[in-house]
Amino acid sequence: MKKTIKIEGMTCGHCAGRVKKELENVCGVTSAEVSASDKKAVVELAHEVDDAKLKAAVEEAGYTPVAVE
């Protein structure tokens, strides 16, 4: 299962790296591919993870999650 998170505020690869690290710390997330230029993260999930938990991880990294699809 995959989810895509639209994110505002990332400007470079360093930002994307911070978001990736936080997302991959969430239980159920097996990997996260994050692009600052595309303003999104695609997460691969081992099981269902609440959108709220994914958003909280993005906020923890210092950026703004605008939608989870």
Binding residues for Cu ion (CB under 5 A): 11-12, 14-15
Nearer to Cu ion, 19 or 29 (CB): 19
Residue 53 beta carbon to Cu ion: minimum distance, rounded to whole angstroms: 23
Residue 17 beta carbon to Cu ion: minimum distance, rounded to whole angstroms: 8
Long-range contacts of 52-55 (CB under 8 A, 24+ apart): 53/26, 54/3, 54/5, 54/23, 54/26, 54/29, 55/5
Nearer to Cu ion, 29 or 34 (CB): 34
